[in-house]
Amino acid sequence: MLDLLPRLRRFATGLTGHASDADDLCQMTVERALTSQDKWQQGTRLDSWMYRIMRNLWIDETRARGRRSQTFLAEEAGAGQGGMGAQEAVVELNHIDRAMQRLPEDQREAVLLVMVEGYAYKEAAEIVGCPVGTMNSRLVRGRDALMELLGEAA
């Protein structure tokens, strides 16, 4: 489980759009996994099980809060840090983060799971609980919308 934490945190950051919310979501996920470890079936993928827990917790959390997240980093976070290349990278990441947050949640999940986390369509579909064709469709729509949004930012 400890080896999964960096990947879980990256996924949580992608879902929440904010580092502190991502930390909270990771903590809730690990807590839920530990208290429900009897529900995990030996021989199945622990990472997929934990991603599903995280996704379900996030859905519950967003319904309870009724709010949308901000970008991963405030634009000011890169000011005065590193050389010009580092600042440009931070600005570019901010553009990508804002574009990701503008995607519908189902498309954002698909992009995060397949393009960022590297899951196969089938695995991502199992995590989300949808047919593979639906995952494929969400990914195509999400990728196209993301490219269009990033084109607007350029």
Q: Per-residue pLDDT tens for 78-114?
A: 555 555 466 676 677 777 888 888 999 999 999 999 8
Domain ranges of the chain: 2-65, 83-153
Interacting residues of 56 by C-beta distance below 8 A, sequence separation 6+ = none
Residue 86 CA, distance from chain mean position: 23
The answer, yes or no, to whether residue 2 has pLDDT greater than 60, is yes
Q: Over the stretch 108-149, which tens digit does the pLDDT of each residue have?
A: 999 999 888 888 889 999 989 999 999 999 999 999 998 888
d(CA 107, CA 129): 14
The reported pLDDT for the residue numbered 67 is 40
pLDDT at res. 153: 56
Q: What is the model's pLDDT at position 79?
A: 53
Distance between CA atoms of 62 and 89, rounded to whole angstroms?
Answer: 29
CATH label, 2-65, candidates 3.40.50.410, 1.10.1740.10, 3.40.50.720, 2.30.42.10: 1.10.1740.10
Handedness of CA 103, 105, 111, 112 (dihedral sign): positive
Record: fold of 83-153? Arc Repressor Mutant, subunit A (1.10.10)
The per-residue pLDDT for 64 is: 67
Question: 78 versus 27: which is more confidently predicted?
Answer: 27
Each residue's pLDDT tens digit, 46-77? 888 999 999 988 888 777 665 434 444 455 55
Q: Do 2-65 and 83-153 fold alike per CATH?
A: no
Which residue reads 């009724």 in tokens? 66
pTM of the shown model: 0.54
Chain mean position to CA 87: 23
Torsion of Cα atoms, 106 then 73 then 22 then 3, to 10°: 100
Report how far apart, in Å, the C-alpha atoms of 24 and of each of 8, 44, 54, 110, 149 are: 12, 26, 11, 22, 29
